Amino acid sequence: MPLSIPTLGAGTFRLKGEDAYNSVKMALEAGYRHIDTAQIYGNEKEVGQALADSTVERSELFITTKIWMDRLGKASFIPSLQESLLDLQLDYVDLLLIHWPLKDDAVPMEEYLQELKHAQDTGLARHIGVSNFTVAHMRQAIEILGENVLYTNQVEVHPYLQNKPVTEFCSNHNMIVTGYMPFAYGDVLKDGSIKHIAEKHSATAAQVVLAWMAKSGFVTIPSSTKKANIESNLAYSQVTLDDEDMKVIAGLDRGHRLANPDFAPEWD
């Protein structure tokens, strides 16, 4: 039975070279077993080297990568995944995602989702999923692949962007929500309400946000290059938020979206 996804993972977005290597190395040493990367991050080699240098058994790890938009066509999809596996020094990934849906249908969704499924069927990926998919995209994907095939939708989620239409659709279709940028580049860590809850629980603001993510049923993948933060984030599980805390955080939603490149879809 494939390992199920650990609630807290170590993200590697924006980490290059030695920073990527050291961050993954520190995360593994601290006890993280879920590592998230992507072809476009340009750090799969460093992530792979950190995994190879670690003493953690492969069966205990949950590794995610994502296929970039220029490799979604049938001719390049699997070869690009094989290249990623070579860089990661792995025989398979635990989760393979489509990084972004295409706006222009240069490659039809049916084509790239069939390739994604093929990666799973041939053992190159244990689980498959999507990233940055809207409700309309997820509906289309389910029509193509059927229910209960897509494991997760990785989308931006934090207290300032709670993304309700997407998270509720995922919940109704047995799809895990993996929330990226949980701290909104640090914006939510400065929030007075979050700081107040942190004081109440003798916790850090980051631990409160991660505890909120977990209690909401979300997986999340913050990235850090600081050992102290990597270790402290892992202690979020010792923070138990009460209903009042959850209500306060629910009230912070303000549609504050940070990941919105020009190729992004029309968001829900």
Catalytic residue status for 151? no
Is 28:50 a contact under the CB 8 Å cutoff? yes
What pLDDT, in 10s, does the model give residues 210-239? 999 999 999 999 999 999 999 999 999 999
Query: What pLDDT, on the 0 to 100 scale, is given for residue 2?
Result: 60
pLDDT tens by residue, 36-73: 999 999 999 999 999 999 999 999 999 999 999 999 99
Q: What is the pLDDT at residue 105?
A: 84
Annotated binding site for substrate: 99
What is the pTM (predicted TM-score) of this model? 0.97
pLDDT at 1 over 80: no
**Cα–Cα dist 43/255, whole Å:** 30
Residues at the binding site are 99
Q: Is pLDDT at 3 greater than 80 in this prediction? A: no
Q: Domains (ranges, CATH) in the chain? A: 10-184+216-234 (3.20.20.100)
Q: Average pLDDT of 105-125?
A: 97
Residues 258 and 267: beta-carbon distance below 8 Å: no
Cβ burial of 17 (10 Å; 0-12, 13-18, 19+) is exposed
> What is the arithmetic mean of pLDDT over 97-122?
96
Find out whether 132 and 124 touch, Cβ atoms under 8 Å: no
Bridge pairing between strands 125-131 and 93-98: parallel
Among 239, 211, 240, 206, smallest CA distance to 223 is for: 206
Question: Which of 32, 41, 151, 236 is flagged as catalytic?
Answer: 41
pLDDT tens string 133-158:
999 999 999 999 999 999 999 999 99
The tens digit of pLDDT for each residue in 161-203 reads: 999 999 999 999 999 999 999 999 999 999 999 999 999 999 9
CA distances from 114 to 37, 44, 129, 133, 141 (A): 22, 24, 12, 16, 10
